[in-house]
Amino acid sequence: MAQIREIKKRMVAVRTIQRITKTMQMIATAKFTASLGRAKATRPYTERIRALVSEVSAAAGDVSNPLLGRGGSGATTREGTASAHHQREVLLVVTSDRGLCGSYNGGVLRAAMGEVRKRRAGGREMIVETAGKKATAFFRFQRMEVAQKHAFGDKPSFEAVGALADRYIADFVAGKTDAVFVAYMRFVSPARQVPEVMQLLPLTVEEGAAEAKGPSTVYEFRPDAEAILNDLLPRSVRVSLFQAMNDAVVSENVMRMVAMKAATDNASGLSRTLKRNYNRARQAKITTELTEIISGAAALE
């Protein structure tokens, strides 16, 4: 009798968990659809502005800008300056505020820790900033200092992300930092998300890209190339960071959707197993009672 009551309690608990995970799956699906639309809407602009930065930087020739890495004449001056002092680099780690999203946070944090170890092994000072409560809790557990904590929510706004990008740009130009990296989950497709560490600053331009594609477009700059780059490069940093945030939100929601579907399926399977065990235990109890009644009746005869 006690076994039957225990199985019934477990069946009720499993059904409750199944309803919760099913609801969370439906919510994650709705959020994924909305966030995917936002990420797809910004991706063409992000990719185009990155391509435009490469083309204009290559066509501008010897025009320098402090935000440029390779491919800009300003890179040589900055590298010389950086070698003269202890290099300080910033790593922004983007995770979720909540759990139950599979390997999402684990993948991002592993990539971030790998980058931190690699940079510190090279003698660089790595300043860690977080966007998401899970990253903050992880670095607190690792006893690593977090310089700043950011919160962008499920719908990061361009104004908030742009303000953070502007601060990174100002610190980089002023020489307070030598590089900025972003660890996040890059969304490739609903079936594939890749943890990635993106270099946000300095901007890198592939020197051989234009020659590999053949004859390039001849630009006539009005105003001059330096003024165009001064406007174009900060814009590229802002949209790149914003795209990373959008990709992170999409990846979080799709991985939570998959995780909750798996949890719902597992709960359904466990519920069937418990029901079968309950029926067997109940049938065994009935059989035992019938045996006792028959045995008692036989004894009275």
Separation between Cα atoms, residue 179 and residue 200, nearest integer Å = 8
**φ, ψ for residue 194 (rounded to 5)?**
-120, 125
For the chain, how many structural domains are there in total? 1
First-to-last CA distance in the chain?
30
Q: How far apart are CA 39 and CA 129, in angstroms?
A: 23
Helix residue ranges per DSSP H, 174-204: none
Quick: pLDDT tens for 9-58.
999 999 999 999 999 999 999 999 999 999 999 999 998 888 888 877 77
Residue 250: pLDDT over 60: yes
Is 301 part of a structural domain of the chain?
no
* Residue 293 domain-assigned (yes or no): no
Is residue 15 in some structural domain? no
Q: Identify whether the C-beta of residue 180 lies closer than 8 Å to the C-beta of residue 173.
A: no
Reported pTM: 0.82
Which residues constitute the domain of residue 198? 21-260
The CA distance from 68 to 12, in Å, is 61
Question: 73-77, 143-147, 175-179, 228-232 — which is least confidently predicted?
Answer: 73-77
> For the chain, give me the number of helices (H) and strands (E)?
7, 5
| 256: in domain | yes
